[in-house]
Structure 1
Amino acid sequence: MAGLSWLTDRPVAHRGLHDARAGIIENTLSAAQAAIAAGYAIEIDLQAAADGTPVVFHDDTLDRLTTATGPVAALGAAELAAIPLKATSDRIPTFRQLLDLVAGQTPLVVEVKSDWSGVPALCERIVADLETYHGPVAIMSFDPKVVDVLRRIAPALPRGIVSESYRDWQEGGTTPWSRFVMRHLLHVWRTKPHFIAYCVDDLPAVSALLLRWLFGLKLLTWTVRTPEQRARAERWADQIIFEGFRP
Protein backbone atom coordinates (compact mmCIF):
# COMPACT_ATOMS: atom_id res chain seq x y z
CA MET A 1 0.00 0.00 0.00
CA ALA A 2 1.43 3.31 -1.07
CA GLY A 3 1.84 6.11 1.42
CA LEU A 4 2.56 4.05 4.53
CA SER A 5 6.01 5.46 5.27
CA TRP A 6 4.60 7.13 8.41
CA LEU A 7 3.97 3.67 9.86
CA THR A 8 7.70 3.01 10.25
CA ASP A 9 9.10 6.53 10.52
CA ARG A 10 9.35 6.45 14.32
CA PRO A 11 9.43 3.81 17.08
CA VAL A 12 6.03 2.75 18.36
CA ALA A 13 5.40 2.91 22.12
CA HIS A 14 3.68 -0.32 23.20
CA ARG A 15 0.38 0.62 24.90
CA GLY A 16 1.69 4.18 25.02
CA LEU A 17 4.82 5.38 26.80
CA HIS A 18 3.89 3.89 30.14
CA ASP A 19 5.93 3.67 33.34
CA ALA A 20 4.08 2.31 36.36
CA ARG A 21 6.78 3.57 38.70
CA ALA A 22 6.03 7.09 37.52
CA GLY A 23 2.28 6.55 37.79
CA ILE A 24 1.74 6.23 34.05
CA ILE A 25 -0.25 3.08 33.29
CA GLU A 26 -0.47 1.31 29.95
CA ASN A 27 -3.28 2.19 27.53
CA THR A 28 -4.20 5.40 29.35
CA LEU A 29 -4.48 8.96 28.13
CA SER A 30 -1.40 9.78 30.23
CA ALA A 31 0.61 7.10 28.40
CA ALA A 32 -0.56 8.47 25.07
CA GLN A 33 0.35 12.02 26.06
CA ALA A 34 3.80 10.89 27.20
CA ALA A 35 4.42 9.21 23.84
CA ILE A 36 3.34 12.33 21.97
CA ALA A 37 5.66 14.50 24.06
CA ALA A 38 8.58 12.14 23.40
CA GLY A 39 7.94 11.95 19.65
CA TYR A 40 6.89 8.30 19.43
CA ALA A 41 4.03 6.64 17.61
CA ILE A 42 1.46 4.94 19.84
CA GLU A 43 0.18 1.36 19.91
CA ILE A 44 -3.04 0.74 21.84
CA ASP A 45 -5.51 -2.11 22.39
CA LEU A 46 -9.25 -1.88 21.77
CA GLN A 47 -12.07 -4.10 22.92
CA ALA A 48 -15.82 -3.71 23.27
CA ALA A 49 -17.54 -2.66 26.46
CA ALA A 50 -20.93 -4.23 27.23
CA ASP A 51 -22.71 -1.44 25.33
CA GLY A 52 -20.48 -1.95 22.27
CA THR A 53 -18.33 1.13 22.83
CA PRO A 54 -14.67 0.60 21.85
CA VAL A 55 -12.56 1.09 24.98
CA VAL A 56 -8.79 1.24 25.34
CA PHE A 57 -7.76 -1.74 27.46
CA HIS A 58 -5.69 -4.87 26.90
CA ASP A 59 -6.74 -7.55 29.40
CA ASP A 60 -9.96 -9.54 29.30
CA THR A 61 -10.45 -8.83 32.99
CA LEU A 62 -10.09 -5.79 35.21
CA ASP A 63 -8.07 -7.58 37.88
CA ARG A 64 -4.46 -6.70 36.99
CA LEU A 65 -4.73 -2.96 36.39
CA THR A 66 -7.80 -1.70 38.24
CA THR A 67 -9.32 -1.77 41.71
CA ALA A 68 -12.18 -3.92 40.38
CA THR A 69 -12.42 -7.53 39.23
CA GLY A 70 -14.27 -9.43 36.54
CA PRO A 71 -14.56 -9.25 32.77
CA VAL A 72 -14.26 -5.94 30.95
CA ALA A 73 -17.07 -6.96 28.59
CA ALA A 74 -19.56 -7.18 31.46
CA LEU A 75 -19.64 -3.39 31.99
CA GLY A 76 -20.60 -0.43 29.83
CA ALA A 77 -18.17 2.32 28.95
CA ALA A 78 -19.51 4.69 31.62
CA GLU A 79 -19.22 1.99 34.29
CA LEU A 80 -15.66 1.20 33.21
CA ALA A 81 -14.76 4.90 33.31
CA ALA A 82 -15.81 5.05 36.96
CA ILE A 83 -13.35 2.34 38.02
CA PRO A 84 -9.98 3.66 39.31
CA LEU A 85 -6.83 2.29 37.80
CA LYS A 86 -4.25 1.27 40.38
CA ALA A 87 -1.79 3.98 41.49
CA THR A 88 -3.05 6.66 39.09
CA SER A 89 -5.85 9.12 38.54
CA ASP A 90 -6.41 7.82 35.00
CA ARG A 91 -9.50 5.88 33.99
CA ILE A 92 -10.23 3.48 31.12
CA PRO A 93 -10.74 5.75 28.10
CA THR A 94 -12.98 5.21 25.13
CA PHE A 95 -11.45 5.14 21.67
CA ARG A 96 -13.11 8.46 20.91
CA GLN A 97 -11.48 10.06 23.96
CA LEU A 98 -8.09 8.79 22.86
CA LEU A 99 -8.61 10.08 19.32
CA ASP A 100 -9.60 13.50 20.68
CA LEU A 101 -6.38 13.61 22.70
CA VAL A 102 -4.02 12.43 19.95
CA ALA A 103 -5.70 14.56 17.27
CA GLY A 104 -3.25 13.54 14.55
CA GLN A 105 -0.16 14.58 16.50
CA THR A 106 1.48 11.16 16.04
CA PRO A 107 0.66 7.89 14.25
CA LEU A 108 -1.67 5.44 15.96
CA VAL A 109 -1.39 1.66 15.63
CA VAL A 110 -4.55 0.07 16.98
CA GLU A 111 -4.78 -3.60 17.93
CA VAL A 112 -8.32 -5.00 17.95
CA LYS A 113 -8.83 -7.66 20.62
CA SER A 114 -11.00 -10.52 19.39
CA ASP A 115 -12.63 -13.78 20.43
CA TRP A 116 -11.70 -15.21 17.00
CA SER A 117 -15.12 -14.34 15.57
CA GLY A 118 -13.92 -11.28 13.66
CA VAL A 119 -15.93 -9.04 16.07
CA PRO A 120 -17.72 -7.27 13.18
CA ALA A 121 -19.81 -5.05 15.45
CA LEU A 122 -16.68 -3.76 17.21
CA CYS A 123 -14.93 -3.21 13.88
CA GLU A 124 -17.89 -1.17 12.64
CA ARG A 125 -17.82 1.01 15.77
CA ILE A 126 -14.07 1.56 15.38
CA VAL A 127 -14.46 2.56 11.74
CA ALA A 128 -17.32 4.90 12.68
CA ASP A 129 -15.13 6.59 15.31
CA LEU A 130 -12.46 7.12 12.67
CA GLU A 131 -14.77 8.74 10.12
CA THR A 132 -14.07 12.24 11.44
CA TYR A 133 -10.50 11.60 12.60
CA HIS A 134 -7.70 13.37 10.77
CA GLY A 135 -4.36 11.73 11.37
CA PRO A 136 -2.33 8.64 10.49
CA VAL A 137 -3.87 5.48 11.93
CA ALA A 138 -3.58 1.76 11.18
CA ILE A 139 -5.61 -1.15 12.56
CA MET A 140 -4.28 -4.65 13.25
CA SER A 141 -5.29 -7.87 14.98
CA PHE A 142 -4.11 -11.40 15.67
CA ASP A 143 -7.45 -12.54 14.28
CA PRO A 144 -7.42 -12.86 10.47
CA LYS A 145 -11.21 -12.56 10.52
CA VAL A 146 -10.88 -9.04 11.95
CA VAL A 147 -8.51 -8.08 9.15
CA ASP A 148 -10.95 -9.53 6.60
CA VAL A 149 -13.86 -7.60 8.13
CA LEU A 150 -11.83 -4.39 7.92
CA ARG A 151 -10.89 -5.16 4.32
CA ARG A 152 -14.57 -5.34 3.45
CA ILE A 153 -16.00 -2.44 5.45
CA ALA A 154 -13.06 0.00 5.24
CA PRO A 155 -10.81 -1.03 2.35
CA ALA A 156 -8.81 2.21 2.40
CA LEU A 157 -7.98 1.96 6.10
CA PRO A 158 -4.43 0.59 6.60
CA ARG A 159 -4.77 -2.87 8.14
CA GLY A 160 -2.24 -5.34 9.46
CA ILE A 161 -1.94 -8.84 10.85
CA VAL A 162 -0.25 -9.59 14.16
CA SER A 163 1.47 -12.96 14.32
CA GLU A 164 4.02 -15.16 16.06
CA SER A 165 5.15 -18.80 16.23
CA TYR A 166 2.18 -19.85 18.43
CA ARG A 167 4.40 -22.52 20.00
CA ASP A 168 3.21 -21.78 23.53
CA TRP A 169 -0.26 -20.52 22.63
CA GLN A 170 -2.73 -21.29 25.41
CA GLU A 171 -5.73 -19.21 24.42
CA GLY A 172 -8.91 -20.98 23.36
CA GLY A 173 -10.73 -20.39 20.11
CA THR A 174 -7.96 -21.70 17.86
CA THR A 175 -6.98 -25.11 16.51
CA PRO A 176 -3.56 -26.50 15.55
CA TRP A 177 -4.45 -25.93 11.89
CA SER A 178 -5.62 -22.33 12.41
CA ARG A 179 -2.43 -21.59 14.34
CA PHE A 180 -0.38 -23.08 11.50
CA VAL A 181 -2.22 -20.84 9.03
CA MET A 182 -1.66 -17.78 11.23
CA ARG A 183 2.00 -18.60 11.92
CA HIS A 184 2.77 -18.82 8.20
CA LEU A 185 0.36 -16.03 7.17
CA LEU A 186 -1.41 -18.36 4.74
CA HIS A 187 -4.57 -16.23 4.93
CA VAL A 188 -3.06 -13.21 3.15
CA TRP A 189 -4.67 -14.04 -0.19
CA ARG A 190 -7.98 -13.30 1.54
CA THR A 191 -7.16 -10.73 4.22
CA LYS A 192 -4.76 -8.70 2.05
CA PRO A 193 -2.97 -6.93 4.92
CA HIS A 194 -0.96 -3.78 4.25
CA PHE A 195 1.59 -4.57 6.96
CA ILE A 196 2.71 -7.27 9.41
CA ALA A 197 3.50 -7.08 13.13
CA TYR A 198 5.53 -10.18 14.07
CA CYS A 199 6.94 -11.27 17.42
CA VAL A 200 10.59 -10.20 17.67
CA ASP A 201 11.65 -13.48 19.29
CA ASP A 202 10.27 -15.38 16.28
CA LEU A 203 12.24 -13.45 13.67
CA PRO A 204 13.45 -14.32 11.12
CA ALA A 205 10.12 -15.78 10.00
CA VAL A 206 10.16 -16.88 6.37
CA SER A 207 6.56 -15.95 5.57
CA ALA A 208 6.84 -12.45 7.04
CA LEU A 209 10.15 -11.76 5.32
CA LEU A 210 8.91 -13.00 1.96
CA LEU A 211 5.93 -10.66 2.16
CA ARG A 212 8.27 -7.84 3.12
CA TRP A 213 10.86 -8.49 0.42
CA LEU A 214 8.66 -9.62 -2.47
CA PHE A 215 5.54 -7.50 -1.94
CA GLY A 216 6.85 -4.54 0.03
CA LEU A 217 4.70 -5.03 3.15
CA LYS A 218 5.98 -3.06 6.12
CA LEU A 219 7.20 -5.27 8.98
CA LEU A 220 6.81 -4.10 12.57
CA THR A 221 8.06 -6.26 15.41
CA TRP A 222 6.89 -6.59 19.02
CA THR A 223 7.53 -6.28 21.90
CA VAL A 224 11.13 -5.06 21.96
CA ARG A 225 12.48 -4.70 25.50
CA THR A 226 16.14 -5.77 25.50
CA PRO A 227 19.31 -4.84 23.58
CA GLU A 228 19.32 -8.33 22.04
CA GLN A 229 15.76 -7.93 20.79
CA ARG A 230 16.59 -4.49 19.44
CA ALA A 231 19.54 -5.90 17.47
CA ARG A 232 17.30 -8.63 16.04
CA ALA A 233 14.69 -6.06 15.08
CA GLU A 234 17.23 -3.83 13.36
CA ARG A 235 18.31 -6.76 11.21
CA TRP A 236 14.91 -8.10 10.20
CA ALA A 237 12.19 -5.47 10.65
CA ASP A 238 11.29 -1.97 9.52
CA GLN A 239 10.37 -0.62 12.95
CA ILE A 240 9.93 -1.64 16.59
CA ILE A 241 6.99 -1.69 18.98
CA PHE A 242 8.84 -1.19 22.28
CA GLU A 243 8.43 -0.77 26.02
CA GLY A 244 10.61 -0.37 29.11
CA PHE A 245 13.19 1.94 27.55
CA ARG A 246 13.44 4.91 25.19
CA PRO A 247 14.96 4.23 21.76
Structure 2
Amino acid sequence: MTQYPPFARPVAHRGLHDRQRGIIENSPSAFTAAIERRFGIECDLQLTADGEAVVFHDDDISRLVGGNKLVRALSANELTALPLLESATSDCPQTFAAFLDQIDGRTPLVIEIKKQANAKDTSELAKRVVQTLATYQGPFVLKTFDPRMIVAVRRQGFSGEIGIITYGYDKPEWYGDMPAQTRFVLRHLLHYPWTRFTFISCEQTALGLPAIRLFRALGFKVMSWTVRTADQAKIARHNADQIVFEGFDPDA
Protein backbone atom coordinates (compact mmCIF):
# COMPACT_ATOMS: atom_id res chain seq x y z
CA MET A 1 0.00 0.00 0.00
CA THR A 2 1.28 3.49 -0.82
CA GLN A 3 1.52 6.51 1.48
CA TYR A 4 -1.01 8.83 -0.11
CA PRO A 5 -1.17 12.52 0.85
CA PRO A 6 -4.25 12.47 3.14
CA PHE A 7 -2.17 10.47 5.63
CA ALA A 8 0.75 12.92 5.63
CA ARG A 9 -0.67 15.41 8.17
CA PRO A 10 -3.29 15.32 10.97
CA VAL A 11 -6.79 15.72 9.60
CA ALA A 12 -9.11 18.38 11.04
CA HIS A 13 -12.49 16.80 11.78
CA ARG A 14 -15.12 18.78 9.82
CA GLY A 15 -12.49 21.47 9.38
CA LEU A 16 -10.65 23.33 12.12
CA HIS A 17 -13.82 24.45 13.87
CA ASP A 18 -14.26 26.24 17.19
CA ARG A 19 -17.84 27.18 18.04
CA GLN A 20 -16.74 29.50 20.87
CA ARG A 21 -14.97 31.60 18.25
CA GLY A 22 -17.87 31.38 15.83
CA ILE A 23 -16.15 28.90 13.52
CA ILE A 24 -18.70 26.17 12.86
CA GLU A 25 -18.06 22.61 11.69
CA ASN A 26 -18.08 21.92 7.95
CA SER A 27 -18.08 25.66 7.21
CA PRO A 28 -15.94 27.71 4.83
CA SER A 29 -14.31 29.39 7.84
CA ALA A 30 -13.39 26.03 9.39
CA PHE A 31 -11.86 24.87 6.12
CA THR A 32 -9.87 28.08 5.72
CA ALA A 33 -8.53 27.70 9.27
CA ALA A 34 -7.38 24.14 8.53
CA ILE A 35 -5.62 25.22 5.35
CA GLU A 36 -3.81 28.00 7.21
CA ARG A 37 -2.45 25.42 9.68
CA ARG A 38 -1.56 22.94 6.91
CA PHE A 39 -3.92 20.31 8.28
CA GLY A 40 -5.87 17.93 6.11
CA ILE A 41 -9.64 18.36 6.07
CA GLU A 42 -12.35 15.82 6.80
CA CYS A 43 -15.84 16.71 5.60
CA ASP A 44 -19.26 15.06 5.24
CA LEU A 45 -21.57 14.77 2.24
CA GLN A 46 -25.35 14.45 2.19
CA LEU A 47 -27.87 14.39 -0.66
CA THR A 48 -30.49 17.11 -1.22
CA ALA A 49 -33.97 16.77 -2.65
CA ASP A 50 -32.75 17.84 -6.08
CA GLY A 51 -29.88 15.37 -6.17
CA GLU A 52 -27.03 17.66 -5.16
CA ALA A 53 -24.16 16.68 -2.87
CA VAL A 54 -23.80 19.16 0.00
CA VAL A 55 -21.25 19.46 2.81
CA PHE A 56 -23.33 18.73 5.88
CA HIS A 57 -23.02 16.13 8.63
CA ASP A 58 -26.50 15.53 10.05
CA ASP A 59 -29.54 13.97 8.39
CA ASP A 60 -31.68 16.88 9.61
CA ILE A 61 -31.01 20.60 9.92
CA SER A 62 -32.03 21.21 13.56
CA ARG A 63 -28.59 21.25 15.21
CA LEU A 64 -26.71 23.25 12.62
CA VAL A 65 -29.15 25.73 11.05
CA GLY A 66 -32.39 25.29 13.01
CA GLY A 67 -35.73 23.89 11.92
CA ASN A 68 -37.09 20.38 11.74
CA LYS A 69 -36.58 19.35 8.11
CA LEU A 70 -34.41 16.61 6.68
CA VAL A 71 -31.55 17.60 4.41
CA ARG A 72 -32.96 15.38 1.68
CA ALA A 73 -36.28 17.30 1.89
CA LEU A 74 -34.58 20.59 0.88
CA SER A 75 -33.12 21.68 -2.42
CA ALA A 76 -29.46 22.66 -2.56
CA ASN A 77 -30.42 26.32 -3.03
CA GLU A 78 -32.66 26.20 0.04
CA LEU A 79 -30.05 24.59 2.28
CA THR A 80 -27.13 26.76 1.17
CA ALA A 81 -29.15 29.93 1.94
CA LEU A 82 -29.49 29.02 5.64
CA PRO A 83 -26.80 30.55 7.92
CA LEU A 84 -25.08 28.14 10.27
CA LEU A 85 -26.10 28.80 13.87
CA GLU A 86 -23.56 30.85 15.87
CA SER A 87 -21.34 31.48 12.85
CA ALA A 88 -19.39 34.71 13.39
CA THR A 89 -19.29 35.29 9.64
CA SER A 90 -22.82 34.04 8.78
CA ASP A 91 -21.36 31.08 6.92
CA CYS A 92 -23.87 28.87 5.12
CA PRO A 93 -23.54 25.22 4.10
CA GLN A 94 -21.87 24.67 0.72
CA THR A 95 -22.51 22.39 -2.19
CA PHE A 96 -19.74 19.86 -2.70
CA ALA A 97 -18.76 21.65 -5.91
CA ALA A 98 -18.42 24.99 -4.09
CA PHE A 99 -16.36 23.31 -1.38
CA LEU A 100 -13.94 21.87 -3.94
CA ASP A 101 -13.65 25.30 -5.55
CA GLN A 102 -12.76 26.75 -2.13
CA ILE A 103 -10.10 24.15 -1.34
CA ASP A 104 -8.65 24.11 -4.87
CA GLY A 105 -6.05 21.46 -4.07
CA ARG A 106 -4.45 23.44 -1.23
CA THR A 107 -4.71 20.61 1.32
CA PRO A 108 -5.58 16.89 1.24
CA LEU A 109 -9.22 15.93 1.74
CA VAL A 110 -10.84 13.01 3.53
CA ILE A 111 -14.40 13.01 2.20
CA GLU A 112 -17.02 11.03 4.10
CA ILE A 113 -20.06 10.01 2.09
CA LYS A 114 -22.81 9.66 4.67
CA LYS A 115 -25.00 6.59 4.88
CA GLN A 116 -28.28 7.19 3.06
CA ALA A 117 -31.81 6.04 3.78
CA ASN A 118 -32.17 3.58 0.92
CA ALA A 119 -30.43 2.06 -2.08
CA LYS A 120 -31.81 4.69 -4.46
CA ASP A 121 -30.34 7.52 -2.40
CA THR A 122 -27.06 5.59 -2.12
CA SER A 123 -26.69 5.33 -5.89
CA GLU A 124 -27.75 8.95 -6.47
CA LEU A 125 -25.27 10.39 -3.98
CA ALA A 126 -22.49 8.12 -5.27
CA LYS A 127 -23.14 9.28 -8.83
CA ARG A 128 -23.14 12.97 -7.90
CA VAL A 129 -19.94 12.67 -5.84
CA VAL A 130 -18.04 10.92 -8.63
CA GLN A 131 -19.31 13.42 -11.21
CA THR A 132 -18.25 16.38 -9.09
CA LEU A 133 -14.77 14.96 -8.45
CA ALA A 134 -14.15 14.15 -12.11
CA THR A 135 -12.18 17.34 -12.80
CA TYR A 136 -10.79 17.98 -9.30
CA GLN A 137 -6.99 18.04 -9.29
CA GLY A 138 -6.19 18.07 -5.55
CA PRO A 139 -5.36 15.07 -3.32
CA PHE A 140 -8.31 13.32 -1.69
CA VAL A 141 -9.69 10.01 -0.48
CA LEU A 142 -13.29 8.92 0.05
CA LYS A 143 -14.66 6.98 3.00
CA THR A 144 -18.01 5.71 4.29
CA PHE A 145 -19.60 3.59 7.00
CA ASP A 146 -21.77 1.89 4.40
CA PRO A 147 -20.34 -1.03 2.38
CA ARG A 148 -23.13 -0.46 -0.16
CA MET A 149 -21.77 3.01 -0.81
CA ILE A 150 -18.32 1.66 -1.66
CA VAL A 151 -19.91 -0.63 -4.23
CA ALA A 152 -22.08 2.22 -5.58
CA VAL A 153 -19.07 4.53 -5.97
CA ARG A 154 -17.10 1.84 -7.81
CA ARG A 155 -20.05 1.25 -10.13
CA GLN A 156 -19.85 4.92 -11.06
CA GLY A 157 -16.32 4.34 -12.31
CA PHE A 158 -14.33 5.69 -9.35
CA SER A 159 -10.97 3.92 -9.14
CA GLY A 160 -9.25 5.96 -6.43
CA GLU A 161 -8.74 5.35 -2.73
CA ILE A 162 -11.88 4.61 -0.71
CA GLY A 163 -11.97 3.53 2.93
CA ILE A 164 -14.41 1.84 5.26
CA ILE A 165 -15.25 3.64 8.50
CA THR A 166 -15.69 1.31 11.43
CA TYR A 167 -15.78 0.90 15.21
CA GLY A 168 -16.51 -1.89 17.67
CA TYR A 169 -20.26 -1.86 16.98
CA ASP A 170 -20.63 -2.02 20.74
CA LYS A 171 -22.46 1.29 21.24
CA PRO A 172 -26.27 0.90 20.99
CA GLU A 173 -26.68 4.67 20.78
CA TRP A 174 -24.74 4.50 17.50
CA TYR A 175 -25.99 1.32 15.84
CA GLY A 176 -29.64 1.53 16.93
CA ASP A 177 -31.69 -1.45 15.78
CA MET A 178 -29.00 -2.93 13.53
CA PRO A 179 -29.16 -6.76 13.65
CA ALA A 180 -26.41 -8.58 15.52
CA GLN A 181 -25.37 -10.46 12.39
CA THR A 182 -24.84 -7.21 10.49
CA ARG A 183 -22.82 -5.75 13.34
CA PHE A 184 -20.64 -8.88 13.37
CA VAL A 185 -19.91 -8.54 9.65
CA LEU A 186 -19.07 -4.85 9.99
CA ARG A 187 -16.95 -5.23 13.14
CA HIS A 188 -14.80 -7.93 11.54
CA LEU A 189 -14.69 -6.32 8.08
CA LEU A 190 -16.07 -9.50 6.52
CA HIS A 191 -17.38 -7.48 3.57
CA TYR A 192 -13.87 -6.95 2.20
CA PRO A 193 -14.17 -9.62 -0.54
CA TRP A 194 -16.89 -7.56 -2.22
CA THR A 195 -16.13 -3.99 -1.11
CA ARG A 196 -12.35 -4.08 -1.61
CA PHE A 197 -11.83 -0.95 0.50
CA THR A 198 -8.29 0.42 0.28
CA PHE A 199 -7.86 1.85 3.79
CA ILE A 200 -9.60 1.84 7.18
CA SER A 201 -10.94 4.73 9.27
CA CYS A 202 -11.35 3.34 12.78
CA GLU A 203 -12.80 4.87 15.96
CA GLN A 204 -9.89 5.42 18.33
CA THR A 205 -11.04 3.06 21.09
CA ALA A 206 -11.46 0.18 18.60
CA LEU A 207 -7.94 0.14 17.13
CA GLY A 208 -7.18 -3.09 18.98
CA LEU A 209 -9.85 -5.09 17.17
CA PRO A 210 -8.35 -8.20 15.54
CA ALA A 211 -9.56 -7.22 12.08
CA ILE A 212 -7.97 -3.77 12.31
CA ARG A 213 -4.68 -5.20 13.48
CA LEU A 214 -4.73 -7.84 10.75
CA PHE A 215 -5.41 -5.46 7.89
CA ARG A 216 -2.78 -3.02 9.14
CA ALA A 217 -0.26 -5.87 9.36
CA LEU A 218 -1.11 -6.64 5.73
CA GLY A 219 -0.18 -3.08 4.77
CA PHE A 220 -3.50 -1.24 4.85
CA LYS A 221 -3.34 2.32 6.14
CA VAL A 222 -5.45 3.06 9.23
CA MET A 223 -6.82 6.48 10.13
CA SER A 224 -8.17 6.98 13.67
CA TRP A 225 -11.18 9.13 14.64
CA THR A 226 -12.14 11.26 16.49
CA VAL A 227 -9.12 12.11 18.62
CA ARG A 228 -9.86 14.91 21.09
CA THR A 229 -6.86 15.09 23.45
CA ALA A 230 -3.09 14.85 23.29
CA ASP A 231 -3.21 11.67 25.39
CA GLN A 232 -5.63 10.04 22.96
CA ALA A 233 -3.38 11.12 20.09
CA LYS A 234 -0.35 9.50 21.67
CA ILE A 235 -2.16 6.17 21.94
CA ALA A 236 -3.73 6.40 18.49
CA ARG A 237 -0.43 7.14 16.80
CA HIS A 238 0.96 3.85 18.09
CA ASN A 239 -1.87 1.92 16.46
CA ALA A 240 -2.78 3.99 13.39
CA ASP A 241 -1.06 5.87 10.58
CA GLN A 242 -2.84 9.19 11.06
CA ILE A 243 -5.45 10.87 13.26
CA VAL A 244 -8.66 12.78 12.62
CA PHE A 245 -8.81 15.32 15.45
CA GLU A 246 -10.79 18.16 16.98
CA GLY A 247 -10.64 20.34 20.08
CA PHE A 248 -6.85 20.43 20.56
CA ASP A 249 -3.65 21.22 18.65
CA PRO A 250 -1.98 17.99 17.47
CA ASP A 251 1.17 19.91 16.56
CA ALA A 252 1.68 21.26 20.09
Please give the range of the TM-score, normalised by the shorter of the 2 chains. Answer: over 0.9
Q: Secondary structure at the match of 2:98?
A: helix
Which residue number corresponds to residue 99 of structure 1? Answer: 100
Instruction: Please state if 1:148 is matched with 2:147.
Output: no
Aligned length: 245
Maintained 8 Å contact 2:60/2:68: yes
CA distance in 2, matches of 1:234, 1:114: 27
1:95 maps to amino acid: F
- Given that 1:200 and 1:222 are in contact with CA atoms closer than 8 Å, whether structure 2 keeps it comes out as yes
Do 2:130 and 2:158's aligned partners in 1 also have CA atoms closer than 8 Å?
A: no
Task: Specify the code of the residue in structure 2 equivalent to 1:55.
Answer: V
1:220 to 220, 223, 239: 223
Q: Indicate the residue corresponding to 1:68 in structure 2.
A: 67
Normalised to the residue count of structure 1, the TM-score between the two structures is 0.95
Find out whether 1:193 has 2:193 as its counterpart: no
Instruction: Map 1:162-173 onto structure 2 (within 5 A).
Output: 162-170=165-173, 171-172=175-176
CA 1:67 to 1:116, structure 2 compared with 1: closer, same or farther past 3 Å?
closer
Q: Is the 8 A contact 2:50 2:75 kept in 1?
A: yes
Counterparts of 1:159 and 1:44, CA distance in 2: 14
* Equivalent pair of 1:13/1:241 in contact (CA under 8 Å): yes
| Post-superposition offset of 1:157 | 1.7
Match of 1:87 in 2: 86
Query: Offset at 1:115?
Result: 2.9
3-state SS of paired residue (1:73): helix
Q: Contact 1:116/1:173 (CA < 8 Å) preserved in 2?
A: no
Q: Which residue of 2 aligns with 1:58?
A: 57
Matched residues in 1 for 2:182 and 2:51: separation? 27
Moved more, 228-237 or 23-32: 228-237
Runs (4+) of structure 1 exceeding 6 A deviation are none
Give 2:55's aligned amino acid: V
| Deviation per residue, 1:149-204 (Å, 9 max, x gap) | 22332342210000001111344573211111111111111111111000001121
What are structure 1's unaligned runs of at least 5 residues? none
**1:180 maps to what in 2?**
184
Q: Aligned partners of 1:173 and 1:8: how far apart in 2?
A: 33
**Distance in 2 separating the partners of 1:201 and 1:236:** 10
SS of the residue corresponding to residue 27 of structure 1 reads: coil
* 8 A contact 2:230–2:248 mirrored in 1: no
Measured against aligned partners, the alpha-carbon deviations of 1:77-135 in whole angstroms (never above 9, x if no partner) come to: 00001112112210010000100000111111011111364501100100000011001
Instruction: Look up the match of 2:4.
Output: 5
SS of match in other structure, 1:133: coil
> Offset of 1:234 from its aligned partner?
1.3
Residue 234 of structure 2 is matched in structure 1 by 231
> How far apart in 2 are the matches of 1:104 and 1:178?
37
Is the 1:68–1:83 contact (alpha carbons within 8 Å) kept by the matching residues of 2?
no
Q: Which residue of 1 aligns with 2:32?
A: 33
Counterpart residue type for residue 191 of structure 1: T
* Residue in structure 1 matched with residue 243 of structure 2 by the alignment: 240
Bigger shift: 68-77 or 135-144? 68-77
Residue by residue over 1:33-75, the C-alpha shift from the partner in whole angstroms, topping out at 9 and shown as x without a partner, is 1101110000000010111100001111111111333211110
Equivalent position amino acid for 1:150 in 2: V
Structure 2, unaligned stretches of length 5 or more? Answer: none
The structure-2 alpha-carbon separation of the partners of 1:78 and 1:134, relative to structure 1 and needing over 3 Å to count, comes to same
Percent identical pairs in the alignment equals 44
RMSD of aligned Cα (Å): 1.4
Which SS does the other structure have where 2:244 is aligned?
strand
Amino acid in structure 2 at the alignment position of 1:135: G
Partner amino acid for 1:21? Q
CA contact (8 A) 1:50 1:73 kept: yes
Distance in 2 separating the partners of 1:58 and 1:110: 11
Match of 1:24 in 2: 23
